[in-house]
A = this chain, B = another copy of it.
């Protein structure tokens, strides 16, 4: 018997997956969560074999939840279920310890397939993900400070505002901006903002 918990922002999708899995005798859904924090609690209580989780979620996203769960329960397998096939998200989920990555535009049959494979200690990464290792070029590693600043940029703050919030000089914020641009190789002349906003939205 395979035990499973589902974490998803959209209740409709959870309901759908549950309906679908009801036909499968060998799979039991132990519970569901609508955000990362609830998911972590749920895993502690129910200790499922497999967690199927969205990446973009309130409170603590899929990546953050995966890290916590893997630290506490290394044997719990995690499958990411995402809208986007962004190299960075996939990479981060892999790093966090996920055993699978499925796109929401694939069928539930594939989800079922993935659950069964992962339950047998296998890995399942969506076919449509060509990006995986190839495009994951030079290991995009932003420092903690840089991520913090990127987040604030995404929230629409100006350099001056960010400087005030973090109690540092505007010059420092500008330097970080430049470094982020360099690391991300955003040739796009302008607009780190777009990058920050899209990032926030995509996972």
Contacts and interface: CB of A to CB of B under 8 A. Distances in A.
Interface of A: 9-13, 15-17, 19-20, 22-23, 34, 81, 83, 102, 104-109, 111, 153-154, 156-158, 188-191, 193-194, 197-198, 201
B16 A20 contact: yes
Contact of A193 (B10, B13, B105, B197): B197
Contact of A197 (B19, B34, B81, B194): B194
Given A16-B12, A16-B108, A190 B190 contact: no
Contact of A156 (B22, B83, B106, B190): B190
28 contacts: A9-B105, A10-B13, A10-B83, A10-B104, A10-B105, A11-B105, A11-B106, A11-B108, A12-B104, A12-B105, A12-B107, A12-B111, A16-B16, A19-B19, A19-B23, A19-B108, A34-B105, A156-B188, A156-B190, A156-B191, A156-B194, A157-B190, A158-B188, A189-B193, A193-B193, A193-B197, A197-B197, A198-B201
Contacts of A13: 10, 12-13, 16, 104
A193 to B, nearest CB: 5
Given A156-B194, A190-B193, A198-B201, 18 more contacts: A9-B104, A10-B13, A11-B104, A11-B105, A11-B107, A11-B108, A12-B13, A12-B81, A12-B105, A12-B111, A13-B16, A15-B108, A16-B17, A16-B20, A156-B188, A193-B194, A194-B197, A197-B201
A67 to B, nearest CB: 24
Contacts of A17: 12, 16
A15 B109 contact: yes
Nearest to A156: B190
Nearest to A10: B104
Contacts of A154: 194
Q: Please list the 10 inter-chain residue pairs (A to B) with the smallest Cβ-Cβ separation, ordered nearest first.
A: A16-B16, A15-B108, A19-B19, A10-B104, A19-B20, A156-B190, A197-B197, A11-B107, A193-B193, A12-B104
